[in-house]
């Protein structure tokens, strides 16, 4: 990535009014035409959102988007849309024992509603507030049930089964953390009490140890900062076996959305460490050691992202994608979503940009140079995403951010033109995280309360 060091100009060039106007139009279009009885909207085909049966991991992004729209604009119709759909349609996600996505679905909905109550943006009865608290308590405990023990700790396993650790889950740990901070505890056999914060931190530690590389000779592809989508363990003895990939090219290349999840999840966790009571997790690791471990992972992944992304900061879907070599010196020019060889993934940029900003903000008092570098990068990526060719200006297109990729190996993404790669389509997670990114930036510009999912915990 080629960083523009005029950070003020990058911020001033971001047209948030246009972004939120388009965002509201897209939300209402989807609400009017999409039948959620058939599943959750996942990605667009020919500009229309469709479902894709795997797991319903995107439904919280749909209704959470309406809540973000209300948060940013104050338009009550989006509050009612998000609140009503959360109440009527999200309950099954609270007790869904088959997925690792509770932080995506439920913190984006119940968590956002509770957060806005605590921030004074939403009036609600005490019963409504307690309802949202209960939802988050249950959600975090249910996610924490998916537990595999490994030497020195454990992890919350993916929907693939107990052998599988997904890098994505680093961001859904927030459901487990919030559940603990709201006073909940998971109870097992014989009423054994399981500390949810300890479980979340053990998962974080497993992720940064196994899913992230540091150039320390782990294997022949040990490049500092690269990530593996999936890590495979032997469930008989808990020992590490190998990296793998569900949605990337291979376990030895870096699926850039997985990398982005790591950057975002690490940024969110670092900035709340001072609010987590050390005594509640001291049996696992000290705060000092935890901070050092997460900071090392954050810096490694951010630097890898910046070094392996085109000049505008919007990456191709995998750093080892097999046809990238046919594009020549592709890292020294802006991303090209219309090329014939490999697709870009704008959703990875939406996710990573927020992580860059959070890590940059957290580093302000620790490393001024890195802080400014990451903040500039995050704002610059946002600037590129919030204009053409990435911002969807077509009033008939239901997507907000174009050129997103879901599952390249499975061939699920729509290819609009023979001889080209997938382009021109959107994803529910990409659009949602673009809205989170825009809300984060808007609050910073207006000097409002810092936007954090942790704001739903009473002060």
In this structure, is residue 296 part of a structural domain?
Answer: yes
Q: Is residue 2 part of a domain?
A: no
Per-position b or e across 271-295, b if 16+ CB within 10 A of its CB: bbeeebeeeebeebbeeeebbebbb
Angle in degrees, CA 115, 117, 123, rounded to 5: 155
What's residue 13's pLDDT? 79
- Note whether 318 and 408 are within 8 A (CB): yes
Q: Residue 455 falls within a domain, yes or no? A: no
State the Cα–Cα distance between residues 235 and 126, nearest whole angstrom.
Answer: 44
What is the pLDDT at residue 8? 73
- What is the domain extent for residue 360? 7-446
pLDDT at 265: 98
CA dist list (Å): 388 to 14, 15, 216, 382, 385 = 12, 12, 41, 12, 7
Cα separation of 317 and 440, whole Å?
25
pLDDT at 407: 96
Task: Decide the pairing of beta strands 43-45 and 164-166.
Answer: unpaired
Phi, psi (deg, nearest 5) at residue 354? -65, -40
Nearest residue to 146 (alpha-carbon basis) of 156, 136, 138: 156
Distance CA 71, CA 438 (A): 11
Q: For residue 219, what are the contacts with CB-CB under 8 A and spacing of at least 6?
A: 252
Q: How far apart are CA 169 and CA 102, in angstroms?
A: 9
Instruction: Decide if 456 is inside a domain.
Output: no
Which residues of the chain fall below pLDDT 70? Answer: 7, 9
**340 located within any domain:** yes
322 in Cβ contact with 249 (< 8 Å): yes
* Paired strand residues for 382: none
In sequence order, the 6+-apart residues with CB closer than 8 A to the CB of 283 are: 195, 198
DSSP string, 127-171: HHHHHHHHHHHHHHHHHHTSEEEETTEEEE--TT-TTEEETTHHH
In a 13 Å sphere around the CA of 277, the CA atoms on its Cβ side amount to 9
Domain of residue 49, CATH code: 1.50.10.10
- Residue 348 domain flag: yes
Distance CA 108, CA 141 (A): 17
Q: State how beta strands 164-166 and 230-233 pair.
A: antiparallel
| Three-class secondary structure of residue 242 per DSSP | strand
d(CA 22, CA 398): 10
Please give the helix or strand (H or E) that residue 258 lies within, else none. Answer: helix 256-272
Domain count, the chain: 1
**Which pLDDT tens digit goes with each residue over 298-311?**
999 999 999 999 99
Strand order through the sheet with 164-166 = 164-166, 230-233, 240-244
What gap in Å lies between CA 305 and CA 326, rounded to an integer? 21
Residue 54: the pLDDT is: 79
Tell me the pTM. Answer: 0.97
Whether 451 is covered by a domain: the verdict is no
* 1 assigned to some structural domain: no
């Amino acid at each position: 990535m080629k960083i523009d060091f005029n950070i003020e100009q990058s911020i001033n060039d971001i047209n948030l009014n246009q972004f939120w106007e388009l965002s509201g139009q897209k939300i209402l279009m989807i609400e009017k035409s999409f039948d959620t009885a058939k599943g959750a909207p996942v990605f667009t085909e020919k500009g229309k959102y469709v479902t894709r049966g795997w797991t319903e991991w995107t439904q919280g992004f749909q209704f959470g988007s309406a809540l973000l729209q209300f948060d940013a604009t104050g338009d009550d119709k989006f509050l009612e849309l998000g609140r009503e759909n959360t109440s009527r349609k999200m309950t099954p996600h609270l007790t869904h024992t088959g997925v690792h996505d509770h932080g995506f679905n439920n913190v984006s909905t119940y968590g956002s509603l509770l957060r806005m109550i605590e921030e004074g943006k939403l009036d609600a009865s005490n019963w409504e507030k307690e309802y949202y608290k209960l939802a988050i308590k249950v959600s975090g405990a249910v996610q924490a049930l998916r537990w595999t023990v490994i030497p020195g700790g454990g992890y919350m396993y993916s929907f693939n089964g107990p052998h599988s650790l997904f890098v994505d889950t680093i961001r859904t740990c927030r459901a487990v953390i919030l559940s603990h901070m709201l006073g909940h505890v998971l109870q097992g056999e014989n009423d054994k009490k399981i500390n949810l914060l300890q479980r979340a931190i053990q998962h974080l530690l497993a992720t940064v140890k196994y899913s992230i590389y540091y150039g320390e000779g782990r294997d022949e592809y040990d490049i500092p900062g690269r990530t593996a989508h999936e890590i495979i363990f032997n469930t008989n003895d808990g020992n590490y076996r190998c990296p793998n990939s569900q949605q990337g090219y291979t376990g030895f290349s870096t699926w850039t959305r997985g990398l982005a999840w790591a950057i975002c999840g690490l940024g969110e966790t670092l900035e709340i460490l001072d609010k987590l009571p050390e005594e509640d997790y001291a049996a696992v690791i000290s705060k000092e050691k935890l901070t050092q471990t997460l900071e090392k992972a954050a810096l490694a992944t951010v630097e890898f992202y910046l070094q392996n992304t085109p000049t505008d900061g919007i990456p191709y879907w995998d750093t080892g994608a097999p046809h990238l070599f046919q594009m020549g010196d592709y890292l020294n020019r802006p991303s090209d979503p219309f090329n014939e060889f490999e697709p870009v993934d704008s959703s990875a940029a939406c996710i990573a940009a927020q992580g860059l900003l959070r890590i940059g903000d957290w580093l302000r008092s620790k490393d001024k140079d890195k802080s400014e570098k990451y903040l500039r990068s995050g704002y610059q990526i946002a600037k590129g995403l919030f204009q053409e060719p990435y911002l969807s200006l077509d009033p008939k297109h239901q997507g907000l951010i174009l050129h997103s990729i879901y599952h390249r190996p499975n061939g699920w993404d729509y290819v609009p033109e023979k001889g080209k790669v997938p382009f021109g389509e959107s994803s529910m997670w990409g659009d949602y995280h673009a809205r989170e990114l825009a809300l984060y930036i808007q609050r910073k510009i207006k000097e409002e309360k810092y936007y954090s999912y942790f704001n739903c915990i009473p002060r």
